[in-house]
Amino acid sequence: LAEAGKEVHFLLHSDYDFVAQHGLRVDSVRGDFHLKHPSIYKTTADMPLCDVVLVCLKTTHNELLKELLPPLIHKDTLVVLIQNGLGIESDLADTFPNLSIAGGLAFICSGKVGEGHIVHSDLGKISIGGYGFSSSPELEAVCADMVQSGIPADISPDLMLMRWRKLVWNIPFNGMTVVLNTTTDKLMSCPQTHELSYQLMLEVVAGANACGVALTVDFAQKMMAMTEKMTPYSPSMKLDFDYNRPLEIEYIYTRPLLEASRRGCDMPRISMLEKQLRFLTVR
Amino acid sequence: LAEAGKEVHFLLHSDYDFVAQHGLRVDSVRGDFHLKHPSIYKTTADMPLCDVVLVCLKTTHNELLKELLPPLIHKDTLVVLIQNGLGIESDLADTFPNLSIAGGLAFICSGKVGEGHIVHSDLGKISIGGYGFSSSPELEAVCADMVQSGIPADISPDLMLMRWRKLVWNIPFNGMTVVLNTTTDKLMSCPQTHELSYQLMLEVVAGANACGVALTVDFAQKMMAMTEKMTPYSPSMKLDFDYNRPLEIEYIYTRPLLEASRRGCDMPRISMLEKQLRFLTVR
């Protein structure tokens, strides 16, 4: 967005001093670029009011939002949570009852490889959807800005379906690569973990259906076929674990389990995986 | 048994030469002893016919029994399988349809710590039960020999109940200490794995009940309370894993799953644990 000339204000943390001096470098499969003087801040208190806030935090830090957001929001601000998991929007709405909230699902392989240095190695689509509304001028404008900036973006009319769809992949592979200390390709090439991955996906489908979301078994089969073709891959939770960062267990596992359980749907394998992950993080 | 003066013939493998020279040393909580010249053999072909054969192999080597046993057995020989898991006796009966078979469950903490050197650190009770019969003169004689030798032994009229009871502990703790690379005390002190251990036990109870075995939830609760009081412990499967030995997955996990599944009983958490163990052993 910034490279395309949109007005973007970045909140930085540990990289602030480096980026102030050297700018922000992005090595992308869509073309490398370098922002020499991005508009950066150490705290949201110093930032202007914003029409759109793109929240790209790990959900493990979402409790910071109640302090980060107030300096940024005016009455029409749209906050887009580009994060994985379930229940993120409802938690934010509990804190800010009048806020316009959207969710964003990023289908991208990218990561920070050094100070002020991001590598974008594959994919890049983003889907956004309103929380409690299917469309709004602000939501259309965000999507249009992204598309104009060369980002493949679309608006989904069903945010919850999008969130559950992404869980179909995230629930088996984030957790299993951590618990079994491995990569997706090895899980797929062992007949037992291949079957278990599919069983976990089917539990996600059952949970979604219990919550009134029209996810289908067909979609799980597509995710299996897609994963079979992937090169060896370490999901974000595996990287977080390897680098001793907190894991996004709450919104990827605990909340879906809770939502399904409230509707009488038991997901025993997902529940077991969640407990194994909880154990590994209290080490 | 040998220390008490009974006629015992030992089949040895890698320790044969050492024991031939130095004898067999047992450091036991019940009193240390040293057998200077035990009757040892490299192969069962050299051994005499035996009234009783105590099979103390890991079940991962049970396919050897079809060659090991024939030189030892006469028409009244009783073969006692002192091993963990389900389906061991029926597999042996498939190979030797006319053989008298019993199962033995050892409640003991002991292990080989060096060539010809065994440490027995705690407990020591053994329960034996006939396979397809509840009592016989041979079974009574084995039990009497053990008791006369100072081994706390008894005969159980219900071998399958005994086997399922032992699985109540073995299924959660053998597998979970391997998958999560830990010890029993750590699993018990984390609320999530504490709950998961109990859930796994309840699945064992359900599986046993489906198979017509009168195991109760009460027994699972007792096993939880017992494990809470145990000092940090690595079950035999964890030791096997750490020393790169094959794991007893087949008889401890796969067969109970199969037996329960045949009666329409699904054990999803146990099935998941079995798949995780299978994955870890194909590394």
pLDDT at B233: 86
Of the candidates B180, B196, B279, which has its C-beta nearest A193's C-beta? B279
CB A148 within 8 A of CB A155: no
Give the angle B128-B129-B135 at the CA atoms, nearest 5°. 120
Contact assignment for B279 to A179 by CB distance below 8 Å: no
Q: Coil, strand, or helix at residue A18?
A: helix
Q: Residue A264 has which token pair?
A: 């009488």
Amino acid at B164: W
The residue-averaged pLDDT of B79-88 equals 98
Contact assignment for B276 to A193 by CB distance below 8 Å: yes
pLDDT at B232: 87
Cα-Cα-Cα-Cα torsion B231, B234, B236, B239, nearest 10 degrees, comes to -150
pLDDT at B183 exceeding the cut of 90: yes
> Could you give the C-alpha distances from B209 to B219, B256, B259, in angstroms and in order?
13, 12, 11
- Residue A189: left if φ>0, alpha if ψ -120 to 50, beta else—which one? alpha
Q: Coil, strand, or helix at residue B269?
A: helix
The residue-averaged pLDDT of B244-269 equals 98
- Inform me whether the C-beta atom of residue B60 falls under 8 Å from chain A C-beta atoms: no
How would you classify the pairing of strands A24-28 and A33-35? antiparallel
B241 pLDDT tier (thresholds 50, 70, 90) = very high
Contact assignment for A269 to B274 by CB distance below 8 Å: no
pLDDT at B277 exceeding the cut of 70: yes
Within 8 A of B195 by CB-CB distance, chain A residues are 275
Of the candidates B193, B196, B275, which has its C-beta nearest A193's C-beta? B275
The two counts, helices (H) then strands (E), for chain B are 12, 9
pLDDT at B283 exceeding the cut of 80: no
pLDDT at A283: 59
pLDDT at B27: 97
CB B64 within 8 A of CB B50: no
Q: Which helix (H) or strand (E) holds A51?
A: strand A50-55
Closest CA to A127 of A78, A82, A90, A77: A82
CA distance A146 to B245: 55
Q: Coil, strand, or helix at residue A198?
A: helix
CA distance B130 to A103: 64
- Average pLDDT value for chain B: 96
- Inform me whether the C-beta atom of residue B196 falls under 8 Å from chain A C-beta atoms: yes
Tens digits of residue pLDDT in B189-230: 999 999 999 999 999 999 999 999 999 999 999 999 999 998
Question: Of A66, A166, A186, A275, which residue is the catalytic one?
Answer: A166
Closest CA to B273 of A183, A276, A248, A258: A276
Q: Is the dihedral of CA B83, B88, B146, B38 positive or negative?
A: negative
Closest CA to A252 of A102, A105, A100, A53: A105
Of the candidates A190, A274, A275, which has its C-beta nearest B279's C-beta? A190
Q: Residue B140 has which token pair?
A: 């009574």
B66 pLDDT tier (thresholds 50, 70, 90) = very high
Beta strands in chain B (DSSP E): 9-11, 24-28, 33-35, 39-41, 50-55, 73-82, 100-114, 117-130, 153-155
Cα-Cα-Cα-Cα torsion B101, B162, B6, B70, nearest 10 degrees, comes to 20
CA distance A192 to A198: 10
Within 8 A of A268 by CB-CB distance, chain B residues are 199, 268-269, 272
Would you call A166 a catalytic residue per the annotation? Answer: yes
pLDDT by residue, tens only, chain A of 283 residues? 999 999 999 999 999 999 999 999 999 999 999 999 999 999 999 999 999 999 999 999 999 999 999 999 999 999 999 999 999 999 999 999 999 999 999 988 888 999 999 999 888 999 999 999 999 999 999 999 999 999 999 999 999 999 999 999 999 999 999 999 999 999 999 999 999 999 999 999 999 999 999 999 999 999 999 999 988 888 999 999 999 999 999 999 999 999 999 999 999 999 999 999 999 998 5
Give the angle B16-B21-B22 at the CA atoms, nearest 5°. 100
CA distance B125 to B187: 25
pLDDT at B245: 94
- Write the ipTM: 0.91
- Inform me whether the C-beta atom of residue A188 falls under 8 Å from chain B C-beta atoms: no
Strand pairing partners for A108?
Answer: A123
Q: Which of the residues of B are catalytic?
A: 166
- For residues A19-35, b (16+ Cβ closer than 10 Å) or e, as one string? beeeebbbeeeeeeeeb
Closest chain A residue to B198, measured at CA: A272
Helix boundaries (H) for chain A: 16-22, 65-68, 88-95, 137-148, 159-179, 184-189, 191-210, 217-229, 236-242, 249, 255-262, 268-281
- Shortest distance between the Cα of A210 and any Cα of chain B, in A, equals 19
Percent of chain B with pLDDT over 70: 100
> Could you give the C-alpha distances from A277 to A180, A237, B84, B243, in angstroms and in order?
11, 10, 29, 25
Strand pairing partners for A130?
Answer: A102
Q: Coil, strand, or helix at residue A167?
A: helix
| Contacts (Cβ under 8 Å, ≥6 apart) of A180 | A187, A193, B179, B276, B279, B280
Burial-class residue B262 by CB neighbours within 10 Å (0-12, 13-18, 19+): exposed
- Inform me whether the C-beta atom of residue A250 falls under 8 Å from chain B C-beta atoms: no
How would you classify the pairing of strands A100-114 and A117-130? antiparallel
Amino acid at B209: N
A12-21 contacts: CB < 8 A, separation 24 or more? A12/A40, A12/A41, A12/A42, A13/A42, A14/A115, A15/A112, A15/A115, A15/A116, A16/A40, A16/A42, A18/A115, A18/A116, A19/A115, A19/A116
Within 8 A of B179 by CB-CB distance, chain A residues are 179-180, 276
Contact assignment for B190 to A282 by CB distance below 8 Å: yes
CB B57 within 8 A of CB B224: no
Query: What's this model's pTM, rounded to 2 decimal places?
Result: 0.93
Of the candidates A186, A187, A269, which has its C-beta nearest B272's C-beta? A269
